[in-house]
Amino acid sequence: MKRRQQGILTGMPFMTHVSSRSFVDDTGRKIHMAKPPARIISLAPSLTELLFAMGAGSQVAGVTQFCDFPPEASRKPKVGYANPSVEVLVGLQPDLILAPREFLKPDLIAALDNLKIPIFIVADHTVEDIFSHIQTIGRMVEHQTEAAALAMDLRKQIAAIKELAQGEPPVRVLYVLNSQPLITVGPGSFIDQLIGLAGGINVAAKSGTPYPRLSLETVLLEDPEVLIFPVGQAEGISESEQQSWQQWSGLSAIKQGRVHQIPADLLNRPGPRIGQGLERLAAMLHPSLSGPALHRRP
């Protein structure tokens, strides 16, 4: 029996579909599509980026107001974000809606089910989930070849950065999603995994939850050597919030001046650009890997 190809990072097999046109999403819901969707609505920037990256941009009929990459995505009709209008969704006559599990309300799912509009829900807890979703969505939209190539290129990029970072001493990291209250990433989030792949030690590793709130006492005790702030127009930490961290002059990160910004859409979005985000993250944690060193990958 021929074995399925396995993931570079974890050895787990790619997500598989139930039959040629039947698929099971991350909530266990099964949908059947008799033919590839011609009109797709994406309810997350990461999903929009995936569709365009695999060549399915012409099939995208609607996006959220935060879907700004690639530039042509921002020109698509807008449907809202956390609480999209059912009437707006229906008016775009979608064959398929792709949605993140976060923020999706049960009444919206029920309304779409009643209208017989297929909705496929994804939840990215690990980097492997991202690879799997690329493959699965590629099959759904009939861009299998492009999706497989995209996933493999991303796997190679991430595996190469991981190999380089493993040769460097680990660095304690705090990734600040919000300052007041202090919210960061923890076990069960793909960003926590990316920190490890970049050669970092997440100071919130003991929290046991994907997006924990940390007390200042915990931060001072764990003493991060690097502070990282995601920034951007739509999401990220403001300049004033970043400056407020300078008062904690006893932190190693402040004393050593190792406070960095990273585009939120590269690292916060579980999409095809996480390789770029990981590359920047690795260079922040290990300056010796910046520039030519990261481009001379094994």
The mean-pLDDT minimum among 123-127, 172-176, 202-206, 286-290 falls in 286-290
- The confidence score (pLDDT) of residue 9 equals 45
DSSP state of 276: H
Sign of CA dihedral 206, 122, 5, 145: negative
What tens digit of pLDDT does each residue of 200-241 get?
999 999 998 999 999 999 999 999 999 999 998 777 888 999
- Number of helices (H), then strands (E), belonging to the chain: the values are 12, 10
Residue recorded with tokens 């904690």 = 248
As a whole number of angstroms, the distance between CA 274 and CA 237 comes to: 19
CA Rg value for the chain: 20
Residue 80 pLDDT grade (very low, low, confident, very high; cuts 50, 70, 90): confident
Please answer whether residues 213 and 181 qualify as being in contact, where contact means their C-beta atoms are separated by less than 8 angstroms: yes
- The confidence score (pLDDT) of residue 208 equals 87
Q: Considering the entire predicted model, what is its pTM?
A: 0.88
Cβ count within 10 A of residue 196: 16
Range 45-56 average pLDDT: 98
Residue 42 pLDDT grade (very low, low, confident, very high; cuts 50, 70, 90): very high
Residue recorded with tokens 């300049």 = 239
Q: Would the pLDDT of 289 be above 60?
A: yes
- The confidence score (pLDDT) of residue 294 equals 58
The mean-pLDDT minimum among 169-178, 217-226, 285-294 falls in 285-294
What tens digit of pLDDT does each residue of 90-104 get?
999 999 999 999 878
